[in-house]
Every structure is written in structure tokens, then in C-alpha cells.
């Protein structure tokens, strides 16, 4: 029986406002409850450009934060709903180093804890939402605890949705022994290289600012899906949303409302394919 609940994972270094609020509003209008989790249980905040209607996106050369985006994000943030999120770390601890004393016993205990936590979370939530923005580059993409959570939903055949840099963890979430990408053979989308920044990729709560993103998501996804699958950049098209169940992926902020609509169709109507 559906719990009508979705678990949204957010970065503690800044998420793009409408990439959460767009799908959240669609899900809540359809009767779903959206609850929040961050890597360490710290509050999650929207990146300032994501509610600034004067912000010009350099690759696109236009203002990407519409008046509707601003309204939706400001209304959401005023409610302070992401101030006390669940802590991923409390459910899934770090995997022990191989050099740790009594490594085998610690690894066995680790997998027992992972199994218990995954069972609890996949019983409580119908789907997993990975929200984008620059922040995920820091604390979500190569987060082994998040990889275990994604694998848990994957093995239960539950929907996993990612938008923008929230798609990136899907390429790295793989069984630690098998090493095989769970999106191999799948159709996915994500930030294409034409839309990547040349400079100014920044994060909240730190002075660490970099030039371009530290990896090209298009290349990462193309390699992860392999020759049997396909990465769809859809450069030049306003939106790019791809559903190849159980994975729903969206390229960037312009896709947020469509992403949410397809999310609801996947959950309520059993839609398995969309966008290609």
C-alpha cells in the first residue's frame, strides 16, 4: 500500500530553489507528503540566485529565475521547512576503511545497519528525490551513505528521481563489490556540457568557489549508461525530462514543473517511460 510519502535529499551547501519546490508543489497537490534529509542533518538553504529574478545565467545568457520561480521559492523558504531535516548519517554510517582494526567485523556490522535502515526508509517512503544545484557536487555526488540509500530504493524497484546535479549520484551509486553502474543500459538526461559554467561555481556556507564544475556530468552519465543505454542532452530544447523506470531524470531548473508532473504520473499512473 502506498504511503503517499516522498523522501527528498538536499545538499547542506545549497540547493536550487525551484528544483525542489517545482516537483514538491506538484507532489503535494497530488496528495503526497514530502519530507527532507541532508547528509548530516544540518539545515538546507536555497542558493540565492535561485530566487533572484535579476540573475543572468552565463551559458544561457538570459534570466533563468522567473517571477513564478521567485514567488514559489520565497513562499516555500518562508515556512522554514528544511530547517530540521533527517540526518542520512544517522541511518547509514560511513563504511569502515579496510585498514581499520577488526575490519571484517566492522564491515559486517555496517551492512547490518545499512539493511535495517534501508528497510525502514523504503517501507516508509514511496520514492526518492535527489534535488540539484551546485551544493550536491560537494556532499551528495560521492557520498557513499547516499549511494547505499539509492541502492536500497533501486533494489526495492521504487522510483528514484534526480534533477540537475542531483542526477550525478546515480552514476556513482553501485554495489561496492560489483562496481557496476545501476544506470547502465538506461536512458537518462542531466546537465549537458553546453550549459556548464566556465567560472563561478559556488556553494553556501563556505568560501570555496571554483571555476567550472569539477566534472562534466554529460561525460559521466554517458560512460555510466554504456553502449546499451543513452544520455540525452537535448541541447537547444527548453526542457529535457527522461523517465526510464525506476529512474526519472531532469536536465536543469527549466524542467522543474514538468519533472514534477511526470513524477506524479509515475507514482499514480504507473508510467514507466517518457521523453525519448
Query: What is the per-residue pLDDT for 36?
Result: 98
Q: What is the pTM of this model?
A: 0.97
Which ranges constitute the DSSP H helices of 38-102? 67-78, 88-91
| pLDDT in single tens digits along all 276 residues of the chain | 578 999 999 999 999 999 999 999 999 999 999 999 999 999 999 999 999 989 888 889 898 999 999 999 999 999 999 999 999 999 999 999 999 999 999 999 999 999 999 999 999 999 999 999 999 999 999 999 999 999 999 999 999 999 999 999 999 999 888 899 999 999 999 999 999 999 888 899 988 788 899 999 999 999 999 999 999 999 999 999 999 999 999 999 999 999 999 999 999 999 999 999
d(CA 148, CA 114): 7
Q: Which residues contact 16 (CB under 8 A, 6 or more apart)?
A: 46, 47, 50, 131, 132, 133, 134, 164, 253
Count the domains in the chain. Answer: 1
Q: Which domain holds residue 81?
A: 5-274
Which ranges constitute the DSSP H helices of the chain? 17-29, 67-78, 88-91, 103-124, 136-139, 144-155, 168-172, 217-225, 256-269
d(CA 29, CA 57): 30
Beta bridge partners of 127: 6
Query: What is the per-residue pLDDT for 200?
Result: 83
Q: Are 54 and 37 in contact (CB under 8 A)?
A: no
Question: Is the bond preceding residue 246 a cis peptide, omega within 30 degrees?
Answer: yes
Query: What is the per-residue pLDDT for 209?
Result: 80
Q: Are 145 and 96 in contact (CB under 8 A)?
A: no
Query: What is the per-residue pLDDT for 1?
Result: 58
CATH number of the CATH domain containing 146:
3.40.50.880
Q: Are 145 and 39 in contact (CB under 8 A)?
A: yes
Cell readout for 143 is 557520498
Question: What is the residue whose three cell numbers read 506524479?
Answer: 264
Amino acid at each position: 500500500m502506498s504511503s503517499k510519502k516522498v523522501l527528498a535529499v538536499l545538499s547542506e551547501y545549497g540547493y536550487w530553489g525551484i528544483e525542489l519546490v517545482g516537483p514538491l508543489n506538484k507532489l503535494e497537490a497530488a496528495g503526497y507528503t514530502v519530507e527532507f534529509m541532508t547528509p548530516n542533518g544540518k539545515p538546507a538553504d536555497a542558493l540565492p540566485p535561485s530566487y533572484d529574478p535579476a540573475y543572468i545565467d552565463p551559458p544561457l545568457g538570459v534570466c533563468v529565475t522567473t517571477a513564478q520561480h521567485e514567488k514559489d521559492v520565497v513562499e516555500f523558504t518562508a515556512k522554514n521547512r528544511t530547517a530540521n531535516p533527517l540526518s542520512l548519517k544517522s541511518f547509514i554510517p560511513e563504511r569502515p576503511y579496510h585498514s581499520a582494526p577488526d575490519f571484517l567485523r566492522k564491515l559486517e556490522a555496517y551492512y547490518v545497519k545499512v539493511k535495517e535502515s534501508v528497510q525502514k526508509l523504503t517501507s516508509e517512503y514511496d520514492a526518492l528525490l535527489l534535488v540539484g544545484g551546485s551544493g550536491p557536487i560537494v556532499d551528495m555526488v560521492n557520498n557513499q551513505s547516499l549511494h547505499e540509500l539509492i541502492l536500497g530504493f533501486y533494489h526495492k524497484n521504487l522510483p528514484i528521481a534526480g534533477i540537475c546535479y542531483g542526477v550525478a549520484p546515480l552514476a556513482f551509486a553501485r554495489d561496492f563489490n560489483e562496481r557496476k553502474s545501476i544506470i547502465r543500459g538506461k536512458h537518462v538526461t542531466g546537465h549537458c556540457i553546453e550549459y556548464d559554467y566556465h567560472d563561478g561555481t559556488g556553494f553556501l556556507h563556505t568560501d570555496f568557489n571554483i571555476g567550472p564544475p569539477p566534472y562534466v556530468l554529460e561525460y559521466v552519465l554517458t560512460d555510466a549508461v554504456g553502449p546499451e543505454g543513452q544520455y540525452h542532452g537535448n541541447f537547444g530544447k527548453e526542457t529535457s525530462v527522461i523517465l526510464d523506470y525506476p529512474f526519472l531524470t531532469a536536465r536543469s531548473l527549466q524542467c522543474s514543473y514538468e519533472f514534477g508532473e511526470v513524477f506524479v504520473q509515475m507514482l499514480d499512473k504507473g508510467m514507466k517511460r517518457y521523453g525519448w
